[in-house]
């Protein structure tokens, strides 16, 4: 006679070494960590591609309105937006719209700083020539990566495309040297962004040693770096540097109006570059003012149906990628990563 024994299932136990201490399956932990990093990188790349390929936009009549200047600025002040994007990269305005919007917001010129491309420069300069009032477009490009953003201003040709995730110090230095060789200048953008304290920023002294020319003190996303003003003053006998303000405009309804007053009577491209090299600027913020709170573009964005469908389909990639790009909801991203890695540690102990 065969008797079947229905033993109750045994609960899985934590693995132990021969000495009685818990052991960890490092392969499981490694897979979890690699998966988390791969997911974060894939999310970042997804959002970059989405923003470059599928744009929302605005109608011309929604971004043109009576010209407004910041409080406390004289009518003859020469105001430049030192950081501006078009839909040649990931901005929402085409070159003609960007010129018109800039004039509406009191600017007398702008530096075009699309991400890793200069393809929009000619169209912007042509739009400025048709503007009906003096408006200078300074050619430029934003050296863009997850590690660092910096504007190369007054250059004639773009530098080689950087590693989007982690450019080396040597490649950063090469980009600075490229700008200087073409007679241009370089500013470090929004130091508060990099990237959300997960990685350490390069210290100011390192940038000084590489020949940095200026610092973005006020950025339209809300990043400020007023400590740079003291650094500029402290090292004025070692290197002349300028302070700037720029909208970093992508979606005009979402950006503070930041300004750079360039202290020169020569309102040409060459005049602006000469003034920047001499440190003759004043960074101005309009954050918190009535003008800044009253943004006529709000609620008028024209959504791209194809973009919305793509976001809906890939929502599981979009949310963390958007946070990595914009710096928003950082604490939630950190919490998510910590929970997933903690889960990996637990599973590596159990299995």
| Residue in this structure with the two tokens 């003012």, named with its chain if needed | 289
pLDDT at residue 2 tops 60: no
In angstroms, the CA 122 to CA 138 distance is 10
Residue 245 and residue 344 in one domain: no
Residue 243 and residue 323 in one domain: no
Angle, helices 26-53/305-313, rounded to nearest 10 degrees: 170
| Residue in this structure with the two tokens 């040597």, named with its chain if needed | 170
CATH code where residue 171 lies = 3.20.20.140
Query: What domain range is 334 assigned to?
Result: 26-52+304-350
Residue 234 domain flag: yes
Residue 152 and residue 269 in one domain: yes
* Paired tokens of 346: 């637990």
pLDDT at residue 24 tops 80: no
- 15 SS3 class: coil
The whole-number average pLDDT for the span 317-333 is 71
Residue 136 and residue 90 in one domain: yes
Residue 318 and residue 255 in one domain: no
User: Residue 48: its pLDDT value, please?
Assistant: 83
The whole-number average pLDDT for the span 108-113 is 98
Contact in structure between 92 and 55 (CB atoms under 8 Å): yes
Contact in structure between 250 and 181 (CB atoms under 8 Å): no
User: Residue 323: its pLDDT value, please?
Assistant: 73
Residue 3 domain flag: no
Phi, psi (5° rounding) for residue 270?
Answer: -65, -40
Contacts of 320 (CB under 8 A, 6+ apart): 39, 40, 43, 333, 336
| Higher-pLDDT residue of 147, 69 | 69
In angstroms, the CA 260 to CA 262 distance is 6
Buried b (16+ CB within 10 A) or exposed e, 234-248: eeeeeeebbbbbbbb
Buried b (16+ CB within 10 A) or exposed e, 264-301: beebebeebbbbbbebebbbbbbeeeeebeebbbeeeb
Residue 48 and residue 197 in one domain: no
User: Residue 329: its pLDDT value, please?
Assistant: 64
Residue 7 domain flag: no
Residue 1 domain flag: no
Residue 270 and residue 346 in one domain: no
* Domains identified in the chain, total number: 2
Most confident of 20-29, 261-270, 294-303, 317-326: 261-270
Residue 342 and residue 211 in one domain: no
For residue range 139-196, list pLDDT tens digits in order. 999 999 878 899 999 999 988 777 777 889 999 999 999 999 999 999 999 887 765 4
User: Residue 177: its pLDDT value, please?
Assistant: 97
Q: What is the CA radius of gyration of the chain?
A: 25
Residue 161 domain flag: yes
Residue 39 and residue 99 in one domain: no
pTM of the prediction?
Answer: 0.83
| Higher-pLDDT residue of 334, 79 | 79
Per-chain mean pLDDT for the chain: 87
The whole-number average pLDDT for the span 323-335 is 69
Residue 132 domain flag: yes
Candidate from 40-44, 226-230, 261-265 with smallest mean pLDDT: 40-44
Residue 225 and residue 309 in one domain: no
Buried b (16+ CB within 10 A) or exposed e, 86-122: bbbbbbbbbbbbbbbbbbbbbbbbbbbbbbbbbebbe
pLDDT at residue 17 tops 60: no
Rounded to the nearest 10°, the torsion over CA 173, 218, 62, 117 is 0
Residue 326 and residue 185 in one domain: no
Residue 39 and residue 185 in one domain: no
Residue 186 domain flag: yes
Residue 322 CA, distance from chain mean position: 11
pLDDT at residue 11 tops 80: no
Residue 8 domain flag: no
Last residue of a domain, one of 261, 293, 325: 293
């Amino acid at each position: 006679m065969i008797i079947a024994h229905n033993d109750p299932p045994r609960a899985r136990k934590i693995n132990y070494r021969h000495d009685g201490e818990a052991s960890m399956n490092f392969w499981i932990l490694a897979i979890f960590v690699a998966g988390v990093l791969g997911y974060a990188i894939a999310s970042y790349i997804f959002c970059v591609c989405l923003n470059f390929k599928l744009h929302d936009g605005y109608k011309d009549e929604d971004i043109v309105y009576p010209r407004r200047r910041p409080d406390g600025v004289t009518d003859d002040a020469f105001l430049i937006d030192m950081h501006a994007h078009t839909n040649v990269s990931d901005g929402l305005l085409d070159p003609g719209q960007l010129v018109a919007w800039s004039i509406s917001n009191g600017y007398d010129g702008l530096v075009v700083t699309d991400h890793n491309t200069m393809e929009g420069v000619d169209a912007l300069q042509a739009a400025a020539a048709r503007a009906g009032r003096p408006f200078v477009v300074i050619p430029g490009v934003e050296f863009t990566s997850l590690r660092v953003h910096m504007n190369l201003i007054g250059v004639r040709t773009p530098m080689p495309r950087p590693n989007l995730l982690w450019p080396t110090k040597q490649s950063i230095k090469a980009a600075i040297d490229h700008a200087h060789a073409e007679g241009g200048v370089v500013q470090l953008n929004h130091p508060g962004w990099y990237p959300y304290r997960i990685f350490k920023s390069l210290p100011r002294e390192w940038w000084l040693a590489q020949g940095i020319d200026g610092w973005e003190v006020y950025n339209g996303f809300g990043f400020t770096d007023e400590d740079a003003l003291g650094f500029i003053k402290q090292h004025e006998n070692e290197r002349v540097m300028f302070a700037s303000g720029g909208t970093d405009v992508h979606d005009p309804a979402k950006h503070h109006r930041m300004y750079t007053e360039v202290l020169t009577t020569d309102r040409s491209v060459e005049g602006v570059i000469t003034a920047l090299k001499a440190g003759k600027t004043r960074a101005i913020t309009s954050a918190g003012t009535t003008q800044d709170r009253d943004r006529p573009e709000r609620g008028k964005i024209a959504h791209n149906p194809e973009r919305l469908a793509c976001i809906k389909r890939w929502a599981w990639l979009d949310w963390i990628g958007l946070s990595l790009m914009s710096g928003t909801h950082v604490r939630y991203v950190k919490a998510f990563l910590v929970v997933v890695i903690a889960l990996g540690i637990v599973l590596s102990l159990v299995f």
